[in-house]
Structure 1
Amino acid sequence: MHNLKAPGINRRVWALTTLLMTTIVSAMVSATALAQLPDENTDGWSLRKETDNIRVFTIDQPASSFQAFKAEAVLDVPIENLMAVMVNPKSCVEWVHNCSESYAFGDGSFHDRYAYSVNNMPWPVTDRDYVIRIRTRGDQATGEIVMDLNAIPDGREKESDYVRVDKSDTLYRFIPEGDRTRMIWVQHTNPNGSIPGWLVNTLLVDIPIRSIEQLERVARRDRYQNHELVYDDGKLKDVVPETQ
């Protein structure tokens, strides 16, 4: 009796084992796909420069001649102001150093949207353009807001005047501290084309410092005042002007 049932039992065990292994592999693939940036707290970050309220670190990246950077800062503006800047699809030009053009395109929402931008590069290097997917999430209990920006180079037709960046991953983390905001910015970009790694790596320190300093100034402008965060069931839904 037991021998006659064994093949059926083995088939069920094999099916369950296959399903389990497929699930594990899928989870590993998903984790790998999301792990585009070095962890903020990993060992190996080297402090490159420090100002009154900004610190910039860099770290080597596997199989890349271009380093990743991490900037930590405390901005003297509330998180609502900063998010009002960040949801403006054209704000890149206002605060990101060397960003010369930026706008939203395609269908999207507050949580998942798309943007196109152009960055000026030092002569004689050709300017770079980016097609970016932007995902935003926030938790009302902690007040923390996280934005993930990832390059999708085939997201729209290439422009002949620029070199399309094919790999760029960025994380912005905003943590409210009363009327101030702690910002953590982690980024790794492969600018594509014939550009030496040493040149890009020399720019990594000044770009986040200049950008964050400008972001603080921009967030104080009248157009970004008096905004509020809208939550639904504890999750960030939108950033809107305060109702009078």
Structure 2
Amino acid sequence: MIVRCALAIAFIASQLAVRAQDNWKLDTEKEGIKIYKTAVPDSKVKAVRVIAMLDTDLSQLVSVLMDVNTGSQWVYHTKSSVLIKKVSPSELYYYSEVDLPWPCENRDFVAHLTVTQDPRTKAVTIDGPAVPGYVPLKHGIVRIGHSKGKWILSPVGNKVKVEYTLQVDPGGAIPAWLVNVFAAQGPLESFRKLKAQLKKPTFQGAKLSYIQD
């Protein structure tokens, strides 16, 4: 049962990102999705890095990632994802609860998303660290207090290269080695569903005033 918990909690890898670490080692490669891992100083949980080429443009992809209210449709094991505060079209805060199988307790977090674009290369960076406050702690749910995450979206012809990295401590009593063993499953499933999400009519032809395609 604890293995199932570790597998489920690996979903976190599809929501949050981190600065690139050295010595990345390829862990999984399926359907054009490459997942790497690396050790992190002073942490038992390895960082995860995902690289994929997606058939989309920058505005369409950013529209999906910033539409946090639909996160439960494609982010692995997400029970709820709700906008808390929209600071501007390119900055927001949202709350999410992660559904884990018994006997594990669900996890939750508040994330702060900010979008920036390099005017020369057009590469888009989305930072999404977990932040304290905004939502009171809830009984029976473990709050994720530490995470670093980053999306880097680079246009390549008529596609977008996605580099998605993260390092997160899921908290609770789940052994870190088990989380590391199954950490590839969460991002793999999320990226599969992300591809499907991009094809939905809601996001077709999306254009954003702060993104130059």
TM-score bin (small chain): 0.7 to 0.9
Q: Confirm or deny: 8 A CA contact 1:128 1:162 kept in the other structure.
A: yes
Cα root mean square deviation, aligned: 1.9
Displaced runs of 4 or more, over 3 A? none
- Contact 1:77–1:180, Cα closer than 8 Å, also in 2: yes
- The whole-number CA distance in structure 1 between the counterparts of 2:22 and 2:128 is 23
Aligned length, in residue pairs: 197
- After TM superposition, give the deviation of residue 107 of structure 1 in Å: 5.0
2:49 counterpart SS class: strand
Q: 1:180 aligns with which of 156, 159, 165?
A: 159
1:186-244 CA distance string (max 9 Å, x none): 0111011212102211231111111111101101100011111324xxxx49x9xxxxx
Question: 1 CA distance for matches of 2:101 and 2:123?
Answer: 35
Match of residue 147 from structure 2: 168
Identity %: 25
In the TM superposition, residue 79 of structure 1 has moved relative to its aligned partner by 2.3
Q: Which residue of structure 1 aligns with residue 83 of structure 2? A: 104
For 1:70, the equivalent position in structure 2 comes to: 49
| AA partner of residue 116 (structure 1) | Y
SS at match of 1:129: strand
CA distance in 1 between counterparts of 2:27 and 2:86 reads 39
Between the aligned partners of 2:151 and 2:41, the Cα distance in structure 1 is: 22
CA distance in structure 2 between the aligned counterparts of 1:100 and 1:112, rounded to whole angstroms: 23
Corresponding residue SS for 1:174: strand
2:112 corresponds to 1:133: yes
Instruction: Write the distance in 2 (CA, Å) between the matches of 1:38 and 1:109.
Output: 24
The alpha-carbon deviation at position 121 of structure 1 amounts to 2.2
Query: Distance in 2 between the 1:63 and 1:123 partners?
Result: 29
Query: More displaced, 130-139 or 76-85?
Result: 76-85
1:115 to 83, 94, 97: 94
Distance 1:50 1:62 in 2: 25
SS at match of 2:69: coil
List gaps (5 residues or longer) in structure 2.
1-16
What residue ranges of structure 1 are gaps of 5+ in the alignment?
1-35, 240-244
Q: Deviations over 1:83-119 (max 9, x none)?
A: 1111212122121111110011135222331000011
* Aligned partner (choices 40, 45, 51) of residue 61 of structure 1: 40
Asked if residue 37 in structure 1 is aligned to residue 15 in structure 2, the reply is no
User: TM-score of the superposition, structure 2-length normalised?
Assistant: 0.85
- Which residue pairs with 1:13 in the alignment? none
Number of the residue aligned with 1:145: 124
Relative to the length of structure 1, the TM-score reads 0.75
Contact 1:152 1:166 in 2 (8 A): yes
Deviation at 1:175, TM superposition (A): 1.0
- Please give the alpha-carbon distance, in whole angstroms, between the structure 2 residues aligned to 1:80 and 1:112: 15
